[in-house]
Structures are given as structure tokens and as C-alpha cells.
Amino acid sequence: MERREILHGFHGLFWTNTVTALFATYLLNGGPTMIYYDIDAYGWSWVLLQVPVLFVAMVSRLLFTPYTYYVFRFIYRFEHA
């Protein structure tokens, strides 16, 4: 590796970690957010319901990316031939 590449990687990691740490500190000190830490605020039913809801949301996001579109198109081409 060249010195320039190492410095570029260092600066990228430094600024990404700095912004992430500042954001996490802001949230943990009471900044406005949709994250809640008290389960009694919404109840156990919502806590148990949000796991399948988030799973479906993440799977649907994954399935509609261009990469998975081309992979599935390649796979199904042989299935329906």
C-alpha cells in the first residue's frame, strides 16, 4: 500500500467514527428520536410484533435491489425454459 492510500483510509475511518460517536452521544443524552428504551411505553405486544415486521421490511428491501433482480432473472431463466 502506498502512503496516500493509508492516509485516505485513516481519514475516512476517523471522520465516519467521529460522526457516528457524536450522533450516538446525542441520542443517548435525550435527543429527539423514534428509539425508545422503556418497554412499558408501548407494551410487550409491540416489542414482539416488531420483529416480524422488521424482518419483512428488510427482506422486501433486499429483494428489490438491482443485484437480486439480475440474480433471480438468471436463475428463473433456466427454470422456465
The 3-state secondary structure of 1-43, one letter per residue: CCHHHHHHHHHHHHHHHHHHHHHHHHHHCCCCCCCCCCHHHCC
**Residue 2: what residue type?**
E
Eight-state DSSP code of residue 65: S
Specify the pLDDT at position 80. Answer: 67
How far, in Å, are 12, 22, 38, 39 from residue 9 at the CA level?
Answer: 5, 20, 38, 40
* Tens place of pLDDT per residue across the chain (81 aa): 788 888 888 888 999 999 998 888 888 887 776 667 788 888 888 888 888 888 888 888 887 788 877 887 777 777 665
Give the per-residue pLDDT at 81.
58
Cα dihedral 6/8/14/20 (nearest 10): -130
Please report the pLDDT score of residue 41 as a whole number: 84
Q: Are 36 and 42 in contact (CB under 8 A)?
A: yes
Q: Where are the domains of the chain?
A: 1-33, 36-81
pLDDT given at position 16? 92
Name the pTM for this structure.
Answer: 0.39
